[in-house]
Amino acid sequence: VSTAGKYVQMFEKKISKYMGVKYAVSVTSCTAGLHVAMIAAKLKPGDIMVTSPITFVSTANSALFTGCDIAFADIDKESINISIKSLKALSDKFDKKIRAIVPVHFGGAPCEMEEIKKVSDNINAKVIEDAAHALGSRYKNGKRIGCCENSSMTVFSFHPVKAIATGEGGIITTNDREIY
């Protein structure tokens, strides 16, 4: 029995339809998904990935696996998600060295993706959403987290403590054919 057989393909299609995204690729874990996302974003030594310090170690480690440096943006004390003010300050400080921004939808609460996208567009960085806890959550505009409207990719977890568990596993969503 193949681990990438017809049921995996059916699952990926159902997830992409549910999220309202063009593509979904299953992986062995959210950690693996974040690592694959960093590779797809073409991160390399000397690049900087910015994320929140309020997350599981996989978020930062996924960038370290590519040889990339990490910068932590502070959190917004109201949402516990990445602070846009702190993100803007880091983008001013590091400018073009930031190649990826990885907001974490902490506890499934949506980050301010439109503002994050504006920052990323100014510095030509990829946005990769860490949505390990956000399956089924929605942005303020009603669209599902994972639709990739303001990001290149979104990564989810199916670990036993998550909303939907498959024992282990994860999935990456994207609208970008090249990334897929």
| 162 tagged catalytic | yes
Separation between Cα atoms, residue 101 and residue 128, nearest integer Å:
6
DSSP state of 156: E
Cα distances (angstroms) measured from residue 25 to each of 66, 86, 97, 117: 20, 32, 28, 23
Q: Out of 22, 88, 140, 162, pick the active-site residue.
A: 162
Residues in Cβ contact with 134 at an 8 Å cutoff, skipping those fewer than 6 apart: 105, 108, 109, 110, 145, 146, 156
Residues in Cβ contact with 103 at an 8 Å cutoff, skipping those fewer than 6 apart: 51, 52, 81, 82, 111, 113, 116, 127, 129, 130
Separation between Cα atoms, residue 16 and residue 13, nearest integer Å:
5
Catalytic residues, which ones? Answer: 162
